[in-house]
Structure 1
């Protein structure tokens, strides 16, 4: 069974991704040192870091929006990430942005990917989340922590 649907793979390849892609994280380890790195963030960014996916139009349950995987886009927002991590009991690390920069993308220690604004919404784990971002599947809004 293929890792991605044909549509998702085509979009990722047009954006510069190839199977086996490996990005050196050294630059981001320095520039994004205000955040707590974890293995899920490292694994994801080694493969997808630096990609900018320019898509738009109608999606499955929401509009397709461009997104970019670059943790430097969240530099200066360490306190915000720490607050949301504490609020939801998650170790959130910045992956980049979605839309026109109005939402951050983040990943937790389990590999779930989130859209962060005033609150948090979950796209799912790794490849599933990528599929949702590309095809326009709305993330699941997290309710207030219990």
Structure 2
């Protein structure tokens, strides 16, 4: 397992997560399949461990922030799979929206290889090469890599 910073672990646990968490994702899996997705193995793993929780915290400057890994809330009644095809072309990988970040202002995606991206408007960023790196980036408000493709 990749390591999370102590600060990130504290934020996650204060929001209801715990190490070794393995939640039932049957409903989420059915929802994503109804949208036309086949779950990549990394998606199922991430959602079992971190899904279904809204993570709220204070940024180092004191501003409140949050993110969640709840695909049903991210898609709502508005988004469909084809809405994200352009983003897939930009990263050259299949993607599944798994949540929202920055107080629900940015969609969060996971790629088939496990990379985590965020998108708002035409701004596309990479939060990390895997979920642990992305969680540290989000919780510690670390710089993100902006993608210009």
Q: TM-score range by the shorter chain?
A: 0.7 to 0.9
Matched, 1:108 2:97: no
Structure 2 CA distance for partners of 1:64 and 1:113, relative to 1, 3 Å = farther
- Which protein has the bigger strand share? 2
Give CA-to-partner distance per residue, 1:34-76, whole Å, 9 cap, x none.
13421111111110001211123346xxx77310110112242
Q: Distance in 2 between matches of 1:42 and 1:131?
A: 20
List gaps (5 residues or longer) in structure 1. none
> What secondary structure is seen at the aligned counterpart in 2 of 1:32?
helix
* CA distance, structure 2, for counterparts of residue 36 and residue 102 of structure 1: 26
Separation in 2, partners of 1:138, 1:103: 15
Deviations 1:99-128 (A, max 9, x none): 232210111112111111223210112211
State the alpha-carbon separation in 2 of the partners of residues 85 and 17 from structure 1: 30
Structure 2 regions of 5+ residues with no counterpart? Answer: none
Equivalent residues of 1:64, 1:134 under 8 A apart:
no
TM-score between both structures, scaled by the size of structure 1: 0.86
Pair 36,87 (structure 1): closer, same or farther in 2 beyond 3 Å: farther
Could you say which residue in structure 1 is the equivalent of 2:48?
A: 46
Select 2:102's aligned residue among 68, 90, 99: 99
1:70–1:95 CA contact under 8 A, matched in 2: yes
Which of 121, 127, 135 is the aligned partner of 2:125? 121
| CA RMSD between the two structures | 2.1
In 1: Cα distance, 2:17 partner to 2:30 partner: 24
Maintained 8 Å contact 2:59/2:140: no
Cα distance in structure 2, aligned partners of 1:21 and 1:96: 18
Measured at CA, do residues 79 and 104 of structure 1 come closer, stay the same or move farther in structure 2, by a change above 3 Å? same
**Runs of 4 or more off by more than 4 Å in structure 1?**
none
Cα deviation for residue 143 of structure 1 reads 1.7
